[in-house]
Amino acid sequence: MPPLPHLRPLAFGLLSLFALGVQASTLPTIAVPPPESRITQVKVYPGSATVERMARVVAGSKTLTFTCLPAGLDVQSLQVSADASVRVGETAVLTEPRAQSAACATSVLDGRIRELEDQKAALQSETDALDLVTGYLKGISTNGGGSDATPALRAAPDAKSVTAMADALRRTGQDSLQKQHLLKRRQAELDKQLAPMLAERARSQGNGGNVVSVTVTLATARDADVRLSYQVNGPGWTPAYRAMLDTGTRKLRMERQALVAQATGEDWRGVKLTLSTGQPRRETTGRLPMPWRIGIVEPQPERRAYGGAPMPASAPAPAMAAEMAKRQEPLFDVSVFNNSFATEFSVPNAIDVPSSGQRVSMALGQTEDTVKLAVRTSPQVDASAFLIADMAPPEGVWPAGPLQLYRDGAFVGNGQWTPPGDARVTLSFGRDELVRVQAEPERDNRGETGFVGVRAERKLQRGYVVENRHRTPIAVQVLEAAPVSVDDKVRVAAVFAPQPAEREWNKQPGMALWSFELAAGQSARVAADYTISYPKDAQISSR
């Protein structure tokens, strides 16, 4: 029996698919893509980083290509290493636009983005189908009683049939509208998932138009790992600290943190991170003095351009200069590392650092020590008392950085950690409201002295009262700046009551420090009397 007419297109389609299958079986086998490399570890310096990638090669491989490397890498810093079973030959470097690179033109997010877009397309097709159903139902309800009504509706003999039809239309329409609402909600959720992925793909493909590929010639008898390391300019890190004081136990815990950022064009995902205070891009030797020769310089005629005007100095275009400055601008201030020896900090966990300049915070460890607490005040400047903690400097290199201060679990404020230049470190933890400081009115008397009044004399009297409103004793420190003469014609005499513990506190002449214990509910008074003598006709300056 001959095939039915409506089956002929189906048979033709099956024969076409069979022919395509026969042709596909005769096509050559698709080449195996080259092995992908991944970043295993990164060492970050102030202003640069050394990145190490690793790729697995199979036995018999002749070449290995590391693709999609950042355009800003230092070609002279390339280093290739492998197992003992691998012989490494020459290395070739190729720089090309990202759009022309077969391996880098698409992002790793493309697969996930296409999957979500396919889901959106499926939802949209379902929405369009429901729109057809809804439009059809609306047409029936609109034309149900008119001249264009269907024969079934016009032949409805009784109200029971009309009621059944209306109920069916209601249920079908309600179900269709509810499905449309759910589909719109699912589409909105897909849009929320797509937005950050599209932004991430645009960011990763927009950081620089070029990519670098490094091809290594090698010979290996068995499977092995090949590593490629290179330096990139721009990444950086800066230290950050957190000081947490427990006034009850007098324990101070210092937490060392780091802020890392990079915008090299490649994301660091799950890498082993090492932070170093060294600066490999700085000069390796100091500058030597040049011979100093002195002579007479003959006057030279001024060179002028055509028309008599001086030759202007060439300057780069403003746009080009701004672009160059932007490229050279570091992510962090590297000057905080200038006075420190090279120290390395190994981050214990795998870290993700995106190539967006976002600053990622990570912990580098902590140290704890018992401190000496005291209340310090400088009534001459500010009649307030501040709680301070005196401690021995922590071991190792602690570069300057921002410091967060906590007292008994409460955040006090922000400060600045400065590398200690002395044997002790003092940190301030905010005001102590239970210590009252009162500065007495200053007395300033002037007169003349000496034989026939040839010298002028000025007497100053200062007094301060400190009251402890705590329920426990406290250590009190009162700072006073005494006048210091810098001229032989000016004489200064100082009388303190009681005598201060230090007359040159913090190695500063004239800086007096009273230090004493103050019992709970008690108060103490300290005073200073100064006599300044100078020639009658002279005018003294205070600075």
pLDDT in 10s for each residue of the chain, 543 residues:
444 444 344 334 433 433 434 343 444 444 445 568 899 999 999 889 999 999 999 999 999 999 989 888 999 999 999 988 899 999 999 988 877 777 776 655 667 787 888 888 888 888 888 778 777 767 766 655 444 545 544 554 566 676 777 777 677 777 888 888 888 888 888 888 888 877 766 666 554 478 899 999 999 989 999 999 999 998 999 889 999 999 999 999 999 888 999 988 888 999 999 998 887 766 667 778 888 877 777 777 766 544 444 444 444 455 544 544 444 445 555 455 545 567 788 888 888 998 878 889 888 888 899 999 999 999 999 999 999 999 988 877 788 889 999 999 999 999 999 877 767 889 999 999 999 999 999 998 887 766 556 888 889 999 999 999 999 999 999 999 999 998 888 999 999 999 999 999 988 999 999 999 999 999 999 999 999 998 888 887 776
For residues 211 and 204, give the distance between their C-alpha atoms in angstroms, rounded to a whole number: 11
Structure tokens that stand for 105 in this block: 């033109």
Structure tokens that stand for 194 in this block: 């797509």
Structure tokens that stand for 370 in this block: 């018992």
Which of 266, 136, 130 is closest to 203 using CA atoms? 266
In total, the chain counts a number of residues equal to: 543
Pairing of strands 443-449, 455-468: antiparallel
For residues 154 and 428, give the distance between their C-alpha atoms in angstroms, rounded to a whole number: 93
Structure tokens that stand for 268 in this block: 């660091």
164 to 17, 150, 154, 157: CA distances (angstroms): 48, 16, 15, 12
pTM: 0.62
For residues 318 and 357, give the distance between their C-alpha atoms in angstroms, rounded to a whole number: 25
Domain edges within the chain = 435-535
